[in-house]
Structure 1
Amino acid sequence: MEDLYHPRILELAADMPHVGRLEAPDGASTKVSRVCGSVVTVELKLKDGVVSEIAVHPKACALGQAATGVLAMHAIGASPQEIREARDGLRAMLKEGAPPPQGRFWELRHLEGVREYPPRHTSTMLAFEAAVEALDQAARAKAS
């Protein structure tokens, strides 16, 4: 368990920016882990093709909160593609043994120990799954 809850995981979980809600977000999504009951909501606004504002509202375990913290710290200025790639890279790291994501969301590497605990994968993925769904919602709203 030490590899799961090392000091940086606890720091990311505790010192999370952009907690709260946005007024009139372009996209929003809430994801729930049926395994542990963790819940993460992500709201965002886009401007000029990148995330200009983000708000997160986590009610999750330390792992889910740490992943949410990484998202919240690095999402502003990120393109939808960067967030999708981070989500896909995090999933591959956890489920396939792939190397940790690089680039803007490099701190996801601190969650590499979760790989050995499959029941915790879902809560670790919640923030990035919610962010991608919020981006999809924003894209649909813009298209209509």
Structure 2
Amino acid sequence: MDGERIIAFGQDVKACAVGQASAAILGSHIVGSTRAAVATARDDLSAYLKGVREDLGDWPEVTRIASVRDYPGRHAAALLPYDAALAAIDQTVSASRNAATSDS
């Protein structure tokens, strides 16, 4: 992280085809984004999968996994990469804050 921006990202994906595709889409957009942008992309995808909205949000590649909407049992696989990335961002920010506090 550099301030609010994500400047580096890596992932070792061990998932089904849906999870792999979703992780690839996330990976193509996350560097240069903010936590808020990743959370919005996740929320947009979740709302689409649940039928709450008809568009997929700002990341056009998400259309590649749009058919997952018809398979509720696969929704978690599509959302998992986003949830994991958000957890990692939160851990990174927390560790950075803790390091700054201990340096004081």
TMscore range, shorter length: 0.7 to 0.9
Long gaps (5+) in structure 2: 99-104
Q: Counterparts of 1:3-82 in structure 2 under 5 Å?
A: 46-82=1-37
Q: How many residues were matched structurally?
A: 97
What is the distance in 2 between the residues matched to 1:78 and 1:140? Answer: 18
Q: CA-to-partner distance for each residue in 1:67-102, whole Å, 9 max, x for gaps?
A: 100111111101111011011111111113412021
Q: CA-to-partner distance for each residue in 1:20-66, whole Å, 9 max, x for gaps?
A: xxxxxxxxxxxxxxxxxxxxxxxxxx113211111011111111101
What is the distance in 2 between the residues matched to 1:118 and 1:72? Answer: 23
Q: What is the Cα deviation at residue 109 of structure 1?
A: 2.2
What is the distance in 1 between the residues matched to 2:38 and 2:3? Answer: 16
Long gaps (5+) in structure 1: 1-45
What is the distance in 1 between the residues matched to 2:45 and 2:37? Answer: 12
- From the two aligned structures, give the one with the greater helix fraction: 2
Matched, 1:100 2:56: yes
Could you state the TM-score of these two structures normalised by the residue count of structure 2? 0.85
Secondary structure at 2:8 match in 1: strand
Q: Percent of pairs identical after alignment? A: 32
- From the two aligned structures, give the one with the greater strand fraction: 1
Q: Counterparts of 1:84-95 in structure 2 under 5 Å?
A: 84-95=39-50
User: In structure 1, what residue type is equivalent to 2:63?
Assistant: R
Larger Rg: 2
